[in-house]
């Protein structure tokens, strides 16, 4: 009886070990795979190779692109709130990145008139729920969702024209980025480049980034950039790119307006592999005290004329900078 019990324990440990190793698996080939979507099983098999994958998706779920695009967003209530970030914060090598919450109408006006190409929005799960768009996102689960998934995250994101997101990597099981409107330019590099990228683990926001601006490198990082090879490609409207775990990537919003949606799926084994990171994340949350230093005026009036609209956006821009300054001064 003891033999069978020990054999069962051994097989269980072996099973867990094999699947955990798969979560830590990394591919270093500097190429993007292109495929024709056939079914979910084929997609998961290709994604298990751990290479970036690009495929046309609009013909598979055309209704999703009809329900979520620039025109549809304009019909939503302007009081719905988005999280706005400044990409320059990431390149200052701050310990954590703060965002500012703005109404949808103010956010759209701000990004439309942003001449410095520095504002973008992401992590908008609450926005999706408040706008009753969860059902539209869930319509993709049968096509993209891997088996044994225990955690699902949806996001909607866009930015000012030519705005770039920071160079970052993730540890999710599956991460798909879909272009619903416009076009994005993606720059990626494999995990082996990490030794030149000065990884910054921000457990307050649970994101892993680099302080290097890979689009316009800072002078002090010129030497490191000469050693890194990047994979660059465009993702047009109607296409989806799969970003494997432990691949560094940055997105540039080439056209205005551009709207992207994001799908994150984690299975049981991925959750187990991320337990150390989650431990530090929840530890950080328990040691962090949230303090409101200032609130935004969400009743900002945007007039129809271009000049008045520009003045309103400038006021929003200045208010964002003032809030960020107060946050840094108070050490929050």
Tell me what pLDDT residue 68 has. 94
Q: Is the pLDDT of residue 246 over 50?
A: yes
Q: What is the pTM (predicted TM-score) of this model? A: 0.85
Q: Which DSSP category does 11 fall into?
A: H
Q: Which residue has the tokens 């994958």?
A: 53
Q: What is the pLDDT of residues 90-122, one digit of tens each?
A: 988 676 688 999 999 999 899 999 999 999 999
Is residue 203 a contact partner of residue 279, using CB atoms and an 8 Å limit? no
H/E segment holding residue 8: helix 2-24
Rg (CA), the chain: 21
Residue 15 lies in a domain: no
CA angle 137, 141, 146 (to 5 degrees): 140
Q: Which CA distances in Å does 92 have to 54, 121, 325?
A: 32, 19, 13
- The encoded tokens of residue 46 equal 């290709």
Q: At 103, which CATH number?
A: 2.60.120.650
Q: Which CA distances in Å does 222 have to 90, 189, 196?
A: 17, 16, 11
Residue 76 lies in a domain: yes
Residue 159 lies in a domain: yes
Residue 125 lies in a domain: yes
Residue 34 lies in a domain: no
- Range list of β-strands (E), the chain: 33-35, 53-56, 81-86, 100-103, 119-121, 149-159, 168-169, 174-181, 183-189, 200-202, 207-209, 231-236, 239-242, 248-253, 259-267
Query: Considering its fold, how many domains does the chain have in total?
Result: 1
Residue 207 lies in a domain: yes
Q: What is the pLDDT of residues 276-297, one digit of tens each?
A: 998 988 888 888 776 554 444 4
Distance CA 54, CA 238 (A): 11
Residue 27 lies in a domain: no
Tell me what pLDDT residue 332 has. 42
- The encoded tokens of residue 153 equal 């995250």
Residue 163 lies in a domain: yes
Q: Which CA distances in Å does 315 have to 5, 106, 308, 310, 311?
A: 69, 10, 11, 9, 6
- Domain assignment of residue 77, given as a range: 55-290+297-330
Tell me what pLDDT residue 298 has. 43
């Amino acid at each position: 009886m003891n033999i069978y019990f020990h054999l069962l324990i051994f097989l269980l440990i072996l099973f867990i070990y094999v699947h955990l190793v798969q979560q830590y698996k990394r591919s270093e080939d500097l190429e993007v795979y292109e495929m024709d979507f056939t079914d979910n099983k084929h997609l998961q098999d290709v994604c298990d190779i751990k290479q970036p994958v690009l495929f046309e998706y609009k013909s598979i779920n055309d209704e999703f692109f009809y329900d979520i695009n620039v025109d549809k967003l304009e019909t939503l209530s302007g009081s719905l709130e988005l999280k706005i970030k400044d990409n320059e914060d990431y390149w200052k090598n701050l310990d954590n990145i703060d965002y500012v919450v703005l109404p949808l109408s103010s956010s759209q006006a701000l990004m439309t008139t942003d001449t410095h190409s520095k504002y973008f929005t992401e992590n908008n799960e609450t926005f999706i729920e408040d706008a009753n768009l969860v059902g539209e996102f869930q319509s993709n689960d049968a096509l993209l969702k891997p088996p044994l998934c225990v955690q699902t995250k949806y996001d909607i994101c866009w930015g000012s024209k030519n705005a770039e997101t920071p160079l970052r990597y993730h540890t999710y099981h599956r991460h798909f980025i879909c272009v619903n409107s416009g076009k994005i330019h993606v720059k990626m590099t494999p995990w082996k480049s990490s030794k030149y990228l000065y990884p910054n683990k921000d457990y307050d926001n649970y994101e892993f980034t680099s302080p290097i601006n890979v689009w316009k490198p800072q002078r002090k990082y010129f030497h490191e950039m000469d050693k890194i090879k990047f994979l660059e490609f465009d993702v047009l409207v109607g296409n989806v790119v799969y970003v494997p775990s432990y691949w560094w990537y940055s997105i540039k919003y080439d056209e205005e307006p551009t709207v992207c949606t994001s799908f994150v799926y984690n299975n049981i084994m991925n959750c187990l592999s991320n337990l150390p990171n989650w431990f530090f994340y929840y530890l950080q949350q328990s040691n962090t005290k949230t303090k409101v230093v200032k609130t935004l005026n969400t009743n900002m009036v945007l007039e129809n004329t271009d000049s008045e609209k520009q003045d309103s956006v400038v006021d929003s821009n200045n208010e964002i900078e003032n809030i960020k300054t107060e946050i840094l001064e108070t050490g929050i």
